[in-house]
């Protein structure tokens, strides 16, 4: 018994203090990465919880800013990749994107986030405190904007859409576009993380700037919402019927049967004072010979009920197929035809894109025609607003799980340029929003055999600053980002001068004295 006890004692070795410290630091890094990954998971994606994105970067930043550059990068990379990996199934399964493309998107953005956090740390070490607090939001705005210009999906990818249901925050897009909202949601946690670093200089300035910008944005949001336009006497209706994925040819009995169902539903809603009806994207397929199956009854119905009807279909003419929206106007025998200008790569390679805007007479002004993915491009809607459009009629087709996200992208486009949006999507949401982003009516397309939303048309609003000036804020962020290396060089030179002065002072002093005002740690200049 004694021998056993002695053996146990000799085999137990105390854990050294450095080992315990290293273990604690590793545990803190893992905990921070996991916490941020969870918050990114819940605060972004197809149906985000809007307030969580304001917190998501804080755990990883609060730890990464106190670690080496390598450790900071690793923690941030893991946090972002862990949070955004939820989109793997959506990209791969729903959108049918190739695995290498999906991997490049998720890993590429994780690399960008990691580098942005390292940049924040570097600026903080160089004592550029305010610049450090702004570096992550400025970098992310620049990344989002450059991707919107270079990728075929426009501004589909932005943190701004997480805030689409927080209307006081969303109003910022009427001044800055989506880029201002992205800046705000990243500035707050970035500034908070900088303020939490012990001994950091310039705390008051960082806190003042962050609080002032947030207060101005929310104050403007409240003021803009208070000036929201009212509603018109006329109504708009969005209707969508369940059907197979592919457009149904009007030359077939199934196509004519589906058309009859839609005609009956249009008659029902028109009896309730509806002025405009929107039917989803690619409901039918038609060519020159079968188009009359649709056009003849729609022209009659529009004239009899004094209602304009927008129908989405695949229209083949002269050997070219287009994703089209046709508006049958009350009292007009010749319909307006719009061809979708931004096609989905891969899924719509067999279609030819359009190149012309189309505006049609509507209640209280002209209304623009757009189709689904067109609304991912701020420039398209901004151009319509400059042409005098007061609203956009949007046939659409979503993928089921992304219905909320796509509807809110369209809502955001409306707030940016000050236009109403009536978007009818199959396998998604039927949504009507006013120029401030208030959702006036909404339902799922599968809520009924033929789902419908009927609501009063919003009144026109004045053009926004963003509609007039465009992406000025995104360009300002790019210019600031381009100036960051010069700022780092200046701070490095200053550190070098101060360090040399301190070394000279210490060398000439006997006994050595401490120079609080000039001493700089070696790490401050690396």
Task: Tell me the per-residue pLDDT of 447-479, one tens digit each, with 9 for 90 and over.
Answer: 899 999 999 999 999 999 999 999 999 999 999
Return the closest-CA partner of residue 243 out of 261, 265, 263: 261
Q: Determine the pLDDT at residue 319.
A: 87
Q: What is the pLDDT of residues 230-267, one digit of tens each?
A: 888 889 999 999 777 789 999 999 999 999 999 999 99
Q: What are phi and psi of 450, to 5 degrees?
A: -130, 95
Over residues 104-109, the mean pLDDT reads: 95
Helices (H), 44-87: 57-64, 69-84
Q: How many other C-beta atoms can be found within 10 angstroms of the C-beta atom of residue 178?
A: 31
- Strands (E) in 427-496, as ranges, are 429-433, 439-444, 450-458
Q: How many other C-beta atoms can be found within 10 angstroms of the C-beta atom of residue 65?
A: 20
Q: What is the pLDDT of residues 435-450, one digit of tens each?
A: 999 999 999 999 899 9
Written as one string, the DSSP assignment of 157-209 is S-GGGGGTT-HHHHTTHHHH-HHHHHHHHHHHHHHHHHHHSTT-S-HHHHHHH
Structural element, H or E, at residue 236:
strand 231-241
Give me the chain's average pLDDT, please. Answer: 89
Tokens at 195, concatenated: 């303020």
Over residues 374-382, the mean pLDDT reads: 97
Of 138-147, 155-164, 167-176, 234-243, the one with minimum mean pLDDT is: 234-243
Q: Is the pLDDT confidence value at 500 over 70?
A: no
Assess contact for 355 and 331: CB atoms under 8 A. Answer: no
Of 109-123, 149-163, 470-484, 488-502, the one with minimum mean pLDDT is: 488-502
Would you call 287 helix, strand, or coil by DSSP?
A: strand
User: Strand pairing of 320-328 and 308-317?
Assistant: antiparallel
Higher-scoring residue by pLDDT: 179, 126? 179
Of 37-41, 122-126, 232-236, the one with minimum mean pLDDT is: 232-236
Return the closest-CA partner of residue 240 out of 423, 396, 450: 450
User: How many angstroms separate the CA atoms of 125 and 1, rounded?
Assistant: 58
Q: Is the pLDDT confidence value at 494 over 70?
A: no
Assess contact for 526 and 161: CB atoms under 8 A. Answer: no
Would you call 108 helix, strand, or coil by DSSP?
A: helix
Higher-scoring residue by pLDDT: 21, 449? 449
Over residues 93-122, the mean pLDDT reads: 93
Q: Is the pLDDT confidence value at 498 over 80?
A: no
């Amino acid at each position: 018994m004694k021998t056993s006890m002695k053996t146990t004692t000799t085999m137990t070795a105390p854990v050294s203090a450095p080992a315990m410290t290293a273990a604690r630091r590793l545990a803190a890094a893992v905990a921070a990465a996991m916490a941020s990954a969870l918050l990114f998971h819940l605060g972004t994606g197809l149906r985000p919880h809007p307030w969580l994105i304001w917190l998501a970067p804080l755990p990883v930043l609060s730890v990464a800013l106190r670690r080496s550059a390598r450790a900071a990068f690793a923690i941030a990379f893991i946090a972002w990749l862990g949070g955004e990996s939820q989109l793997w199934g959506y990209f791969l399964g729903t959108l049918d994107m190739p695995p290498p493309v999906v991997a490049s998107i998720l890993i590429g953005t994780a690399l960008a986030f990691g580098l942005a956090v390292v940049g924040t740390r570097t600026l903080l070490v160089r004592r550029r405190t305010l610049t450090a607090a702004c570096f992550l939001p400025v970098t992310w705005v620049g990344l989002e904007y450059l991707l919107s210009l270079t990728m075929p999906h426009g501004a589909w990818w932005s943190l701004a859409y997480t805030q689409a249901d927080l209307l006081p925050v969303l109003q910022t897009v009427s001044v800055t576009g989506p880029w201002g909202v992205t800046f705000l949601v990243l500035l707050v946690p970035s500034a908070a993380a900088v303020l939490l670093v012990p001994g950091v200089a310039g705390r008051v300035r960082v806190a003042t700037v962050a609080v002032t910008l947030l207060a101005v944005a929310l104050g403007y949001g409240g003021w803009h919402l208070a000036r929201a336009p009212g509603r018109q006497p006329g109504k708009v209706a969005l209707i969508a019927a369940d059907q197979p994925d592919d457009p149904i040819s009007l030359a077939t009995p199934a196509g004519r049967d589906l058309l009859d169902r839609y005609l009956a539903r249009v008659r029902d809603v028109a009896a309730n004072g509806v002025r405009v009806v929107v039917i989803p994207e690619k409901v039918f397929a038609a060519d020159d010979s079968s188009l009359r199956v649709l056009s003849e009854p729609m022209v009659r119905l529009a004239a009899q009920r004094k209602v304009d009807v927008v129908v989405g279909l695949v229209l083949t003419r002269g050997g070219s197929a287009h994703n089209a929206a046709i508006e049958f106007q009350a009292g007009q025998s010749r319909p307006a035809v719009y061809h979708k200008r931004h096609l989905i790569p891969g899924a719509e390679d067999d279609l030819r894109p359009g190149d012309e805007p189309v505006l049609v007479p509507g209640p209280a002004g002209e209304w623009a025609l757009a189709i689904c993915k067109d609304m991912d491009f701020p420039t398209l809607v901004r151009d319509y607003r400059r042409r005098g459009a007061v609203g956009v009629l949007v046939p659409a087709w979503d993928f089921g799980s992304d219905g909320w996200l796509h509807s809110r992208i369209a809502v955001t486009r409306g707030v940016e340029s000050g236009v109403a949006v009536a978007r009818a999507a199959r396998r998604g949401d039927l949504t009507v929003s006013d120029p401030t982003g208030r959702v006036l009516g909404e339902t799922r397309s599968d809520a009924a055999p033929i789902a419908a939303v009927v609501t009063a048309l919003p009144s026109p609003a004045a053009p926004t600053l963003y509609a007039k000036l465009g992406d000025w804020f995104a360009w300002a962020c790019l210019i600031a980002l381009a100036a960051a290396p010069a700022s780092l060089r200046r701070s490095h030179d200053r550190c070098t001068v101060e360090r040399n002065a301190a070394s000279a002072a210490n060398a000439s002093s006997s006994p050595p004295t401490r120079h609080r005002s000039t001493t700089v740690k070696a790490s401050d200049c690396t």
